Amino acid sequence: MRLIERVWFEKHRARYVLVPLLLPLSGVFYVLSKLRKFAYKLGIKSSYQANMPVIIVGNIGVGGNGKTPLVLWLVELLIAQGYKPGVIARGYGGKAPHYPYLINSDSPVEYCGDEPYLIYHRTNVAVCVSPNRQQSIELLEKQGCNIIIADDGMQHYKLNRDVEIAVIDGKRRLGNGFLLPAGPLREGSNRLNQTDYVICNSGAAQQGEITMSLTPGCFINIGSDVKLSQGDFMATYPRVNAIAGIGAPQRFFDTLTSLGMKISHTQGFVDHHQYQASDFEQLPDAHLPVVMTEKDAVKCQHFNLLQAWYLTVDARLPEHFEHALLKKIADVAIRKQ
């Protein structure tokens, strides 16, 4: 974990120096973000209203909070209800040959980024990446989609939204509570009061929040797609190395430990880490199998890793939230007909 993240989330002693130095910049960030938001609210800047329901899944802080598992859950829920969802994303870390870029089965992860690539291959729904969300939605409309899920984009006020879902890490919460760069927040905590739903990913949910849990599934070999149950995997490989390039790597390592897995070495990287072969060659006990997240795995498929595995996870949310969300979406869909 980078030093600044330890200052934000772990009360590292460097906070006594860094936070006072960075607070003036946080003040500038606050003023600029407020002016930008008011420009859209007052109509000085125009925003785009889609012809179909738009669901924003985002957060008010930087780093991974569990948005992608929630997006996957939403896609499956909507398909089961007869909708044809499409997913839009900025495509962080990717560089497509053109925008908007519609992901297909031959698209390399370098074109679209790890999260959109994962969503497409897990769900087989239309996924489009572009800095211009309007162009993405218009392209997905031509693909026959009748509802849009925006992976991230809470601060993208150029796009009107019908349902807004904020996801927070139940363990790290909002860090030290300061705005960037003194803290991890892109908007103040009061912004959560303006969303339709606040999802708490693991940890203890506070009043008004909805708890989401991530249920571990099976282990899949990156090179061969062989699947092993948790029990079979741990019986075959009693000790492993573990790596993670996500917003909160320790959360993944804790999950493995909770399953009873014996871990020789853990290696955390920054979110969206671009893996190199040397990342694996330098691991202690390099002869041991390596376990990673599915998000990491999509960027490691081209390496010759015979014993590299990823753990699937699925989001679980309360039934009452499912019913409330579907009713809200149905009301929006009727209004937009």
Annotated binding site for ATP: 61-68
- What is the model's pLDDT at position 285? 85
Rounded distance between C-alpha atoms, residue 307 and residue 66, angstroms: 26
The per-residue pLDDT for 47 is 94
| Residue ranges for the chain with pLDDT beneath 70 | 1
Structure tokens at 331: 């009301």
Residue 159, pLDDT score: 96
Q: How far apart are CA 226 and CA 29, in angstroms?
A: 48
Residue 84: the pLDDT is 98
At 1 the pLDDT is 62
What was the pLDDT predicted at 270?
Answer: 84
For the chain, domain boundaries: 42-212+316-336, 215-313
pLDDT for position 89: 96
Q: Regarding the domain delimited by 42-212+316-336, which CATH topology (the fold level of the hierarchy) does it fall under?
A: Rossmann fold (3.40.50)
Residue 88 main-chain phi, psi, to 5 deg: -115, 150
What pLDDT does residue 314 have?
A: 94
Instruction: Name the packing angle between helices 67-80 and 114-123 (round to 10°).
Output: 30
| pLDDT of the residue at 75 | 98
CA distance 261 to 299: 24
As annotated, the binding site includes 61-68
Q: For the whole model, what pTM was predicted?
A: 0.93
Q: Report pLDDT for 264.
A: 95
Residues of 15-45 as b/e, b for ≥16 C-beta within 10 angstroms?
A: beebbeebeeebeebbeebeeeeeebeeeee
pLDDT for residue 246: 87
